[in-house]
Amino acid sequence: MKILEYDEKAGALKLHVENEDDLWLIHLVLNKGDIVVARTTRDVSMGNDSRRIPMVVELEVEFSEFQPFTSRLRIHGIVRDAPERYSIKGSHHTINLDIGDEIVIIKKWTKGLIDRIKKQAEKNRRVLIVLTDQDELLVALPMEQGIRILTERSLPGVSDEDKSLENAALEVSKEVEQYVKQYSPDAIIIAGPGPFKEIVRDKLKVKARIYMDNVSSASRAGLNEILRRDVIDEVMRDYQISIASRELERGLSLLAQGSSLVVYGREEVERASQIGAVETLLVTDDLLTLEDEETRKRTEEIMEAVESKGGKVMIVPKDSPVYLQLKNLTGLLAILRFRIN
C-alpha cells in the first residue's frame, strides 16, 4: 500500500492498492457513512442502447465485501457525485476495487486507524512456507488476512533405493519455483520430518533466501508448528500471524493457571484498557466488520485506548490457526502488565 496524499483537515486519505492485504485492511477501516472516491464502470443508457462507461464517482458507503485471498474488494453505497451527463446521483452503485487501483477515503480518522494504514504501507516482506516429505507436500503463504494454502497433496510413492527420490524432489522444486515466480517471496522456509527437504532445497533455482527447519509432518499440524517457531520471526517480523499464535498460547496458559494477568470479554478488556493495564490485545477481525455499529465502535475504542497507552494490538483473521480459539473467548483477549483485581 502506498499513501499518496493525506489531507488531515478534510479527513481525505488517498491510497494506492498493491496487494490483497491492502484490500483486506481497507475493508476493515470502512464504516457506513464514509465517503470513497474511485474510478469505476457503470451501465449507462445511450438512447436505445446501454454501454458500460468508465467514470470517477463519489460514493457514500453502506457496506463492503471482501473474500479472503482474492484480489477484489466490493464497496456498496449511494452515489453522491458523478458526471452530470450520466444522471446517476442518488442511485445505488458498487465499486470493485482491485490491486493497482487508487482510492480516496474520506472519514473521521483516528490516530489508531492512521497508524494501522501507515504500518501496512511500510510492509514489504513476503514469505513462502514449504513443508515436504517423501509422501506429502504443503505450500502456504502467510498473509495479514490469514494463511493461504497454495497446495496440499500427497506425493507418489518413492523408494530410497533408486532415482525416484531425486525425481520426486525435482518435481516438488519445480512446483515451488512456479509459486516463487507467481508471488515473488523475499524468503522461503523449507521444513519437514526427514532428509527429503534438503534434496528439494538443493534442486531449487531461486534468488530468495532459504531457511531450513524440522517439523513432525508435512501437514497442517506441521504448519502450526512452524508458525510458533523463532524461524518465523527471522523472516516475517512484519506479519502478526505467528506472533498472535504464540500470544494466544501464552494467554491460554495464563487462563489455565488461573492467573489474573489475562482477561477476556468486552467489559473486562474495556476496563483494563482504560487504566493502561493491557500489554497485548488480541481481536478477531469480525468484530471490526459487524453491521452492529455500537459493537464495532466500542471495539475500535478499546483498540485505540490500548495503543495510546503503549500496548500492542493484534487483529486475528478468520483464516488464522487461532481464530476459533479466540472466537470462543468472545473475540477479545488481553494479556495484562499488572493485576487489576
What cell numbers appear for 269 in the block?
A: 478488556
Distance CA 170, CA 164 (A): 10
Q: How many CB atoms lie within 10 A of CB 184?
A: 11
Under a CB-based contact definition with an 8 Å cutoff, are residues 315 and 283 in contact?
yes
- Fold of the CATH domain 127-238: Nucleotidyltransferase; domain 5 (3.30.420)
Name the superfamily (CATH) of residues 241-336: Ribosomal protein L30/S12 (3.30.1330.30)
Reported in sequence order, the residue ranges of the chain that DSSP labels E, i.e. its strands, are 2-7, 12-16, 35-46, 49-66, 72-81, 92-98, 102-106, 127-133, 136-143, 146-154, 187-192, 209-214, 262-264, 278-284, 312-316, 332-336
DSSP 71: S
Residue 238 pLDDT level (bands cut at 50, 70, 90): very low
Residue 51 pLDDT level (bands cut at 50, 70, 90): confident
Task: Compare 239 and 212 and report the one with higher pLDDT.
Answer: 212
Q: How many CB atoms lie within 10 A of CB 71?
A: 13
**What is the number of residues in the chain?**
341
Distance CA 10, CA 204 (A): 51
Quick check: do 127-238 and 241-336 share a fold? no
Domain boundaries, the chain: 2-122, 127-238, 241-336
- Quick one: 160 exposed, middle or buried, by C-beta within 10 A (0-12, 13-18, 19+)? exposed
- DSSP string of 72-110? EEEEEEEEEE--GGG--TTSEEEEEEETT-EEEEES---
Distance CA 309, CA 82 (A): 43
Q: Which CATH architecture has domain 2-122?
A: Roll (2.30)
Q: For residue 102, which of 40, 9, 34 has the smallest C-alpha distance?
A: 40
Task: Compare 125 and 51 and report the one with higher pLDDT.
Answer: 51
| Strand duo 127-133 + 187-192: pairing | parallel
Residue 15 pLDDT level (bands cut at 50, 70, 90): very high
Q: For residue 1, which of 12, 11, 14 has the smallest C-alpha distance?
A: 14
Task: Please give the average per-residue pLDDT across 221-229, as a whole number.
Answer: 89
Q: Can you say how many angstroms the Cα of residue 329 is from the centroid of all Cα atoms in its chain?
A: 21
The overall pTM is greater than 0.75:
no
129-169 pLDDT, tens digit per residue, is 999 998 999 999 987 777 889 999 998 766 555 567 888 99
